[in-house]
Amino acid sequence: MAAEGKIDPMHQFQIAPLVGDLSSPFAFTNSALWMLIVLGAIYAFMIGGMKRELVPGRWQMAVEGVTGFITNMLDTNVGPEGRKYVPWVFTVFIFVLFANLMGMMPFGIIPGVHPFTVTSQFTVTGVLAIISFGIVLVVGFWKHGFHFLSLFIPHGTPKPMIPFIFLVELLSFLVRPFSLALRLFVAMIAGHILIKVFAYFIVQGLAAGTAMSFGISLLSFAFIAGVSALELLVCAIQAYVFALLTSLYINDAVNLH
């Protein structure tokens, strides 16, 4: 990309093959590479805290804090049966958290390297959401049989309203995987586009070379610093919301209501 070309904030989300080409299903893309990097980071983080020391060090406290956080979330939202679902909710939470944070890391200072946010692709978040939704469906029908459908008729619904309420509740149930995936994907896209647009302002301001454009560059830089801090918060909140909503949906399937 030219330094002073048209502002093109969508370029960063392009999937480019590193090995092979996109026409083959086995192309190794930058998305796959960054998934592996995220996986490696999670692995390193977890292995460092699983020494099971009697007096935990800082690292072990950090890992136990995360696992305890998820266990606690399922205990309060699902109840005693929630422990069974800790593996999936923990997996999705830590993957989304690390993928979000990896996309925010300043690897760009190394020439030729550009961090790729894995969760900025609707396919990735969509698959995560579909697995969560599938678990809800399987658990619901497994435990309750067709009684699971009573989920769509809240207690105390007046008789004549039942068909209408059933339709509305069914619709809101079916929209869940989309809203789950869309929220994470759009939140990531939006933050990255915002940062990228203002990054272009810096470059263009410096290229213009006048005192005023230099001031605009400086302002944009301060803005980016603030937005980056906000984005780190959003990364954590989105991972938390994804895990929280997954556990709430699992609660619907386990306990009906």
The residues of the shown chain that bind other proteins, judged by CB under 8 A, are 10, 73, 76-77, 179, 182-183, 186-187, 189-190, 193, 237, 240-241, 244-245, 248
Q: Which is nearer to other proteins, 165 or 197 (CB)?
A: 197
Half-sphere exposure of 27 (CA within 13 A, CB side): 13
CB closer to other proteins, 10 vs 19 = 10
Shortest Cβ 152–other proteins spacing (Å): 19
Burial 96-128, CB ≥16 within 10 A → b, else e: bbbbbbbbbeeeeeeeeeebbbbbbbbebbbeb
Residue closer to other proteins by CB (options 131, 245) is 245
Q: Specify which residues 17 forms β-bridges with.
A: 29
Distance of alpha carbon 151 from alpha carbon 257, whole angstroms: 7
Name, in order, each residue with C-beta under 8 angstroms of 47's C-beta and a sequence gap of 6 or more: none
Other Cβ atoms closer than 10 A to 39: 13
The CB-of-9 to other proteins minimum distance in angstroms stands at 9
Min. distance of Cβ 190 from other proteins in angstroms? 5
- In terms of CB distance, is 46 or 171 closer to other proteins? 171
CA-CA-CA-CA dihedral for 173, 174, 178, 184, to nearest 10: 20
Q: 46 vs 237, which CB is nearer to other proteins?
A: 237
Question: To the nearest whole angstrom, how small is the minimum distance from the Cβ of residue 49 to other proteins?
Answer: 25
CA distance 23 to 89: 34
Cβ closer to other proteins: 211 or 233? Answer: 233
Longest dimension (CA), the chain: 73
Of the pair 49, 103, the CB lying nearest other proteins is at: 103
User: What is the closest distance, in whole angstroms, from the C-beta atom of residue 36 to other proteins in the complex?
Assistant: 28
What's the half-sphere exposure (Cβ side, CA atoms, 13 Å) at 116?
21
Six-digit token pair at 41?
Answer: 């980071």
Question: Is the CB of residue 70 less than 8 Å from the CB of residue 217?
Answer: no
Write down the least CB distance from residue 182 to other proteins, Å. Answer: 7
145: tokens are: 């049989």
